[in-house]
Amino acid sequence: MTALHLVDEGEAADLAAFLARLIHYDRAAAVRLQASGTTLAVFGRPPSFEVLAIRTARLSKPYENGLDLVLDVTVSAGELLESLDEAAATATVPAAVTGPPWAGLLPPRGGWRPEPGLPGLDAVRAAVAAVVAEFRARTDELAPESRTRSALDDIGREIWSRPVGDTSLPVRAAHAAQSLGFLRPARGAAPDDAVLRLLSSGAWLRLWTPYGSIAVRRAGLGALDVSVR
């Protein structure tokens, strides 16, 4: 078994919280792990949001497993969570699983550049709260016989595809960040000091926060599980 040594209990607790939230949305969730040097990147896809969630964690010593200096494997999120020992700040890499389609289509590691137009933390959180309230209000207004899956999907598609501020980032990406606990002030900082960044690289947009990132393909360039034509 390959052991990962996280830098401290806080890092282990943050990783455990991220995995628990993914499992909340999908008990059979898988995550792709990539470790090189002292950085571990964990990729997951919460259902319905159509985004990739990325959580990085610091390792206390460079990843090393025999002659392998780089880890790249898809595993069960639940098994990884069960292996986490927060007090010891360690985790055991579970056996590999057959990766879902999204695991083979990850955003690039480099080439990211800043994108303008992203509001501050409070404004982004307010935008998410507003569209959640609107979705509930509009679905509640539907007559029982009209409350079909198709009708709900149509409302959701219209609402969640709206842009955040003066950007092309869909509000569903911000909603995913909120649901996964990424939209909160940085530790020891006032709310206004929290850093949100919108980055782009090729077909991808990335909402970066101190607690994790949400990556999504730009509109018109294919969904995460649909080939670009």
Q: Please write the tens of the pLDDT for every residue from 131-140.
A: 999 999 999 9
Task: Convert the pLDDT of each residue in 99-123 to its tens digit.
Answer: 899 999 999 988 999 999 999 999 9
CATH T-level fold of 2-104: DNA Polymerase III; Chain A, domain 2 (3.10.150)
Amino acid code (one letter) for 84: L
Q: Where in the chain is the domain with CATH 3.10.150?
A: 2-104
The encoded tokens of residue 110 equal: 């480099």
Distance separating alpha carbons of residues 40 and 84, to the nearest angstrom = 14
Distance separating alpha carbons of residues 18 and 126, to the nearest angstrom = 22
User: Across residues 26-54, what is the average pLDDT?
Assistant: 94
User: Across residues 7-20, what is the average pLDDT?
Assistant: 96
Task: Indicate if the pLDDT at residue 222 is higher than 70.
Answer: no
Q: Which of 23-27, 125-129, 194-198, 213-217 shows the lowest per-residue confidence on average (mean pLDDT)?
A: 194-198
CA 114 to chain centre: 19
Please provide the DSSP assignment of 128-148 as one string. Answer: HHHHHHHHHHHHHTS-GGG--
Task: Give the gyration radius of the chain's Cα atoms.
Answer: 18
Distance separating alpha carbons of residues 5 and 92, to the nearest angstrom = 9
